[in-house]
Structure 1
Amino acid sequence: MTRFADPASFAAALAALPEPDEASRTAALNRQARLTKPTGALGRLEDIAVFMAGWQGSERPEADPVQAVVFAGNHGVTAQGVSAYPPEVTVQMVANFEAGGAAINALTAACGARLSVVALDLDRPTGDITREAAMSAEECLDALNQGAAALGADTRLLLVGEMGIGNTTPAAALCAAVLGGSAQDWVGRGTGIDDLGLSRKAVAVEAAVALHSGAATDAFETLRLLGGREIAAMAGAILAARLARVPVLLDGFIASAAILPLLRDNPRFTDHCIAAHCSAEAGHVLLLDKLGLEPLLHLGLRLGEGTGAALAVPIVRGALATHNRMATFDEAAVTDKA
């Protein structure tokens, strides 16, 4: 099990990322060339199959078991009026997840993913990032390690989601701190705030970035100063997945923002990630472009929880079904192209 003893070990893990197995990628590409279809006829399904082969080290990769984890945390920045909902909704929604009543419960059941929920100190919100650090070093390490520990030993495909009232504000702050631009480039309506709430959110992001700009110099410090417990936990889980060579279906704006500091420290960090969808949150289109990821789906979602990633699981299953089960030209006695 991956565990980070201190910020230095986190940085060391991030600097030593494994790469896909090129022999398996080549074998998968050769198989695709022999299947009973014109070359490239299955579009991105072919790319997904080869991607999965490289990370699993197998010419014929499998999706199962698919694991979904929802991380939940509360944020001190909600005191700035940046959300349409009060912080207690986080606790209430965790209870809803555990009772099986949320959208992510329905969608993981539909796509055949096992779901777990990790609540991180919900009675103790992070610091208000407009005035102080979100977390101490110990708190950030704990969140990263809880995320890493959530990865199952047998998982072959991971998706992570989040629940945390106010968490699009630290996500926007992470984007502004790492990528630059104005707060207006990154803030969106999140849970459905009005124009006044959107203005307060932009002010909060500007204040947070200005306060921490001199200290947010690496991935760990950026997550610690501007993130949140569930955001750091997502980053820890996705890093643990990379170290275990497990592909990740990346969910929406917050999940994408969570890995942005890691990508800044290691530009190859997203190589094991597929962007599941582009959400309706204003900054997500720009963020995916900066990450160099093309989403599989555009459905106008803005729920979080990992819902967009769960909806993309059947696409991965379809890619692997065609790759593994289609006959080759020789097997089907079909004449190949001249």
Structure 2
Amino acid sequence: MRVLMAQPRGFCAGVVRAIQIVERSLEKFGAPVYVRHEIVHNRHVVERLERMGAVFVEDLQEIPDGAVTIFSAHGVAQSIIDEAISRGLPVLDATCPLVSKVHAQGKRYVTRGRTLILIGHAGHPEVEGTMGQVGAPVHLVSSVEDVARLELPDNAAVAYVTQTTLSVDDTRGVITALEARFSDLEGPDVSDICYATQHRQSAVRELCETVDLLLVVGSSNSSNSNRLREIGVEQGVPSYLIADGSELDPAWLDGVQAVGLTAGASAPEELVLNVIESLRRHSDVEVEQMDGVREDIEFRLPPELRTPAPRKAVASSGR
């Protein structure tokens, strides 16, 4: 059986930065540190950080006074920031810089007097954070049908921003519907959507041209991982989202000669390798790496974490 591995796959720069913030905070300040929401949407990552001393909470009220507090990669509403400030919590912000860019775009459009439309999925933490950052009413749409239902005059001065993990194709369709309806519309180009989302989706489309089965490694609550699976289905390839190799169903492999393997932006490479090992238990496997984009983007850590933690002194035994 051939296993073709998508390129790129797995961790993006925003996820790497967020995880490093938690790890370095634990090194510098000691355990526990408190993280509001899962730092990224992957249970394996969260559980590893929990073993190191991170405590994940959904409400700032769960964080003791004075405890080091980290905001997840998805971003938070301004009200959460204000609450942390009012309590004097020492905060490290792990919001992905590309999500922060969306926040800045939204604020800029509102400052210019435009009504803001957010293309995204209701209930997703990134969407909740963006809607709470803008400081004005935000209209959320996720489909062409939602655009038609917007209670806004067609000549209103409007602007849009997007959730970073959405499908480029789906977003393009919604933007086209906005352009068709509103005569005074501004917004970023489709290419302004998260680079990692675009690269991983393009790689999956290419992968699906040559495989009989697509496996996407990622968590069920990961928006970008779910979208990768959906793209496989749209391409006519049986496609499954699995957390790790333990979720591989041998029945999926019947008659399959080539398996496509990728991972969402919050899934570590070790889980991809775990899936390959699971495949090896059912068949002889030949692994091939696809050609694709090589990502070399890095995002800077907060200033407090750019210097290494001081080394702990080792007490002499006197011998």
- Return the TM-score normalized by structure 2: 0.31
Give the strand-richer structure, 1 or 2: 2
Give the helix-richer structure, 1 or 2: 1
- Return the TM-score normalized by structure 1: 0.30
